[in-house]
Amino acid sequence: YFDSVPQAPADGILKLSVMSKADTNSKKVDLGVGAYRTDEGKPWVLPVVRKAEQRMAQDPAANHEYLTVGGLPALTNGAQTLIFGGDSAALKEKRVYTIQTISGTGANMVGAVFLKQFKRPDDAAVYISKPTWGNHRSIFQTAGHEVREYRYCDYQTLGLDIDGMLADLRAAPRAQIVVLHACAHNPTGIDPTPAQWAQIADVMQERGHFPFFDCAYQGFATGDVDRDAFAIRLFVDRGFELLVAESFAKNMGLYGERTGCLHAVVADPARVAAVSSQLNRLSRATISTAAAYGAKVAGTVLQDPELYGEWQQNMGEMSGRIMEMRRALRQRLEKLQTPGDWSHVTSQIGMFSFTGLSAAQVQRLREEFHMYLTDDGRISVAGLNSGNVDYVAMAIDAVVRAG
Amino acid sequence: MGPPDAILGITEAFKRDTDARKMNLGVGAYRTDAGKPYVLGAVQKAEASLLAQGLDKEYLPITGLARFTGAAAELAYGAGSSALGRLAITQSVSGTGALRIGGAFLQRFYGAQPTVYLPTPSWGNHAAVFRDSGLKVGSYRYYDPATRGLNLDAMLEDLRALPRGSIVLLHACAHNPTGVDPTAAQWAQIQRVVEEGEHLAFFDMAYQGFATGDADRDAAALRAFVAGGKAPVVLSQSFAKNMGLYGERVGTFSIVGADAAERDRLLSQLKILVRPLYSNPPVHGARIAAEVLTQPELRQEWLGEVKTMADRIIGMRQALRARLEQLGSAQSWAHITDQIGMFCFTGLKPEQV
């Protein structure tokens, strides 16, 4: 029966991880990992998360009962306030429905399936940035959409190709779906400035496009949740209807607990009930209900002012260390006078940085220097630390000079 | 506007009801004799132990926690099963997630426009899950309202009439919603017909241990099909009820391959299917389940608690039947104790409900 099932290609990032794990060289540096690491190179469970877990463990009423299909209110309500802001008109006007999901991927998929059923026109394509998170294309194609790209990364400057992006959004047919990274673009680290976001909103409005925000790094990018939500709030203020896929994997370090939400901002509050019924229906047919434990942790943190404040600090620690490593790497490359302009290392933001290294250079880094990063030249800045940043700079310098 | 969910809508209505006498006999979650949720002792201990270990929350692999899926496979198929060396298994978002992965897998690899046949009736969500994964949904007769038992003849007749190589969804034990399970002899007949029709057996096992109180007994039908070696077997396995892990979403989906090489190919395709759905599964519940299944003391305690839950349910069936008979009811209520598992098909009509 299954004779005809072919071997599927292995996931590229996983392959990298396997190679990295197998490498026993003492100088080995893993810059492929998509999870925060401490300066000691270790995973970090946020202290505020441990606190919340202890509190939960002491609750005599704690249980493992099913959540409702919509999810844990402490999480979904807290997440709404976090993303849209406490004074959001959309929230006051009750124009937002939020459903808990299996982290960001689950939110992207629920949104993708919903849009396939209800998008207008029914042949609207989904536009993703070039490049984007590897799973975006797969998610939207699996949901049955045609996927197209809009220019995003300027491969010369390693900054935003704003002209290319706006041109592509203008040239697209009217009323397409456009996936936008709210902050800390994955994989490039290149974010539009507020002024550029306004331009993007202008063009999206002109062309009647539908924004689908992917927000996996709120608070993780600048350390400031309001700043990191700027783009989403701008679009909401402009009156867009939109979806936001939100993940607590990185900003709360909840990765494997799979904690996330999908938010739908609807123009007419009278339509929210219908939207929520459809999102619930399709989530029920995929997972029934979402995972309780991580939601309870996140909900506990979001709803307690003291814990919330501590969380801000923990996020500040992560984003702060990342920014410090960016400065450290840039400074060393400039000191070594490594050919090229390395200002992008610090103008880019978030967990990832597009170095501009070629696939051949990346291969050399792997084989000669035991440094692991993806072929597109993306490094996980989280993998840098005070113990390896000198070595990394030296290795990059070597491969760049060799051409 | 979507319609209210057939099952979850009942709990919503229950919550809205202000009458002091109200009872929720709707949602499938175990309750103690005091009507409260029950966190199993083995689960509590496992969770406390895990908390004390201060583990990280890194992503699991796409196919989940190996310690969990390995132990789960042994529980379902039996420790000595030949299936274990050729089993493509992935952790899933509980039973629903497993059904969804299975549906997606079959949609992609099991011929053009495959149809899955469900017993009539079946769990309210089965049809939605399979349709949304792209399968067509058909049915075979199962429950006999006249006897409130199994209509085996009709079931076999319908299975015989299916196109060769159809997908047949079978409840491994504690049929939901009727509580009507085939006897061992009836299972043997069902197996023969499924094998003769060259059908694929898609087992949904959400109540292992919870039905008779004995995990091996409850898996007997699944294991017989595997031992038969003819019908391809896939399994959706849930730990929601038997470990009380409901909201933690703990389950597996597995395919019994021909050999280890086929298993590897199947696994590679399962990963491709899972990645866009949710990337990787939740870690918390899987760690608890792994601890319970692999720590001998916890496992013993767990099996005892599962038996206690099953016994309380059996006791309640006996008590309900006895009281109905005491009240002098004219009709037979034998089905209440003949049926098994969490649910009982009362025979009440919609107006009576």
A7 in reach of chain B (CB within 8 A)? yes
Pairing outcome for strands A126-130 and A147-151? parallel
Residues of B in contact with A301 (CB under 8 A): none
A35 or B8: which leads in pLDDT: A35
Q: What is the pLDDT of residue A173?
A: 98
Using the predicted structure, report yes or no on whether residue A94 has a pLDDT greater than 90.
Answer: yes
Cβ of B47 and A57 within 8 Å?
yes
Q: What is the pLDDT of residue B65?
A: 98
A382 or A18: which leads in pLDDT: A382
Q: Are B225 and B51 in contact, with CB atoms under 8 Å apart?
A: no
Residues of B in contact with A277 (CB under 8 A): 1-3
Q: What is the pLDDT of residue A15?
A: 85
A229 or B26: which leads in pLDDT: A229
Cβ of A292 and B8 within 8 Å?
no
DSSP letters for A181-207: ESSS-TTT-----HHHHHHHHHHHHHH
Residue A283: name the closest of A123, A96, A67 by CA.
A67
Determine the residue type at A3. Answer: D
- Write the DSSP symbol of residue A119: -
Chain CA centroid to CA A366, Å: 26
Q: Residues 84..103 of A with a Cβ closer than 8 Å to B: which?
A: 102-103
Using the predicted structure, report yes or no on whether residue B329 has a pLDDT greater than 90.
Answer: no
User: Which of B284, B288, B305 has the highest number of chain A CBs within 10 A, making it the mutation to test binding with A?
Assistant: B284
pLDDT in tens, B269-322: 999 999 999 999 999 999 999 999 999 999 999 999 999 999 999 999 999 999
Using the predicted structure, report yes or no on whether residue B345 has a pLDDT greater than 90.
Answer: no
% of chain B surpassing 90 pLDDT: 85
ipTM of the complex: 0.96
For residue B232, is the peptide bond before it cis, meaning its omega torsion is within 30 degrees of 0?
no
Residues of B in contact with A1 (CB under 8 A): 110, 165, 200, 232
pLDDT in tens, B164-193: 999 999 999 999 999 999 999 999 999 999
Q: What is the pLDDT of residue B21?
A: 87
Q: Are B93 and B248 in contact, with CB atoms under 8 Å apart?
A: no
Task: Render the burial of B207-218: b for 16+ CB within 10 Å, e for the rest.
Answer: bbbbbbbebeeb
Query: Taking the CB of residue B166, how many other CB atoms lie within 10 A of it?
Result: 21
For residue B276, is the peptide bond before it cis, meaning its omega torsion is within 30 degrees of 0?
no
Give the separation between CA B38 and CA B167, rounded to whole angstroms: 36
Give the separation between CA B33 and CA B313, rounded to whole angstroms: 10
Q: How far is B139 from chain A (nearest CA, A)?
A: 18
Partner residue facing B282 (CB), from A45, A257, A286: A257
Give the separation between CA A160 and CA A154, rounded to whole angstroms: 6
Q: Are A98 and A71 in contact, with CB atoms under 8 Å apart?
A: yes
User: Which of B239, B278, B292 has the highest number of chain A CBs within 10 A, making it the mutation to test binding with A?
Assistant: B278
Partner residue facing B125 (CB), from A2, A49, A288: A288
What are the angstrom distances between the C-alpha of A80 and each of A173, A211, A255, A260, A352?
Answer: 31, 17, 20, 11, 26
Chain CA centroid to CA B200, Å: 17
Residues of A in contact with B66 (CB under 8 A): none
Within A24-96, residue ranges assigned H as helices are 47-57, 73-84, 89-92
Angle at B289 between CA B286 and CA B291, to 5 degrees: 110
- Write the DSSP symbol of residue B146: T
Partner residue facing B58 (CB), from A66, A255, A282: A255
Using the predicted structure, report yes or no on whether residue B96 has a pLDDT greater than 90.
Answer: yes
Give the separation between CA A183 and CA A204, rounded to whole angstroms: 18
DSSP letters for A247-296: E-TTTS--GGG-EEEEEEE-SSGGGHHHHHHHHHHHHHTTTSS--HHHHH
Q: Are A205 and A234 in contact, with CB atoms under 8 Å apart?
A: no
Residues of A in contact with B94 (CB under 8 A): 287-288
What tokens were used for A134? 């590897």
Cβ of A35 and B58 within 8 Å?
yes
Using the predicted structure, report yes or no on whether residue A235 has a pLDDT greater than 80.
Answer: yes
Using the predicted structure, report yes or no on whether residue B27 has a pLDDT greater than 80.
Answer: no
Report chain B's mean pLDDT, rounded to a whole number.
95
What length does chain B have?
A: 353
Residue B337: name the closest of B179, B172, B146 by CA.
B179
Q: How far is B108 from chain A (nearest CA, A)?
A: 9
Average of per-residue pLDDT across A150-172:
97
Using the predicted structure, report yes or no on whether residue A127 has a pLDDT greater than 90.
Answer: yes
Cβ of B246 and A285 within 8 Å?
no
**Residues of B that are catalytic:** 123, 204, 241
Searching chain A, which residue's CA lies closest to the CA of residue B261?
Answer: A7
Residues of B in contact with A289 (CB under 8 A): 247, 249
Chain CA centroid to CA A146, Å: 22
User: Which of A1, A68, A141 has the highest number of chain B CBs within 10 A, making it the mutation to test binding with B?
Assistant: A1
For residue A121, is the peptide bond before it cis, meaning its omega torsion is within 30 degrees of 0?
yes
Is the Cα dihedral B325, B328, B332, B336 positive or negative?
A: negative
Using the predicted structure, report yes or no on whether residue A367 has a pLDDT greater than 80.
Answer: yes
Is-above-0.80 flag for pTM? yes
What tokens were used for B145? 């309202």
Can you tell me which residue has the tokens 């010369």? A156
Confidence of residue A403 (pLDDT cuts 50, 70, 90): confident
Is the Cα dihedral A317, A319, A324, A329 positive or negative?
A: positive
Q: Are A290 and A102 in contact, with CB atoms under 8 Å apart?
A: yes
pLDDT in tens, A318-366: 999 999 999 999 999 999 999 999 999 999 999 999 999 999 999 999 9
Cβ of B1 and A277 within 8 Å?
yes
Average of per-residue pLDDT across A69-77:
98
| C-alpha R_g of chain B | 20
Q: What is the pLDDT of residue A43?
A: 97
Cβ of B94 and A288 within 8 Å?
yes
What tokens were used for A382? 């989280």
Q: Are A178 and A157 in contact, with CB atoms under 8 Å apart?
A: no
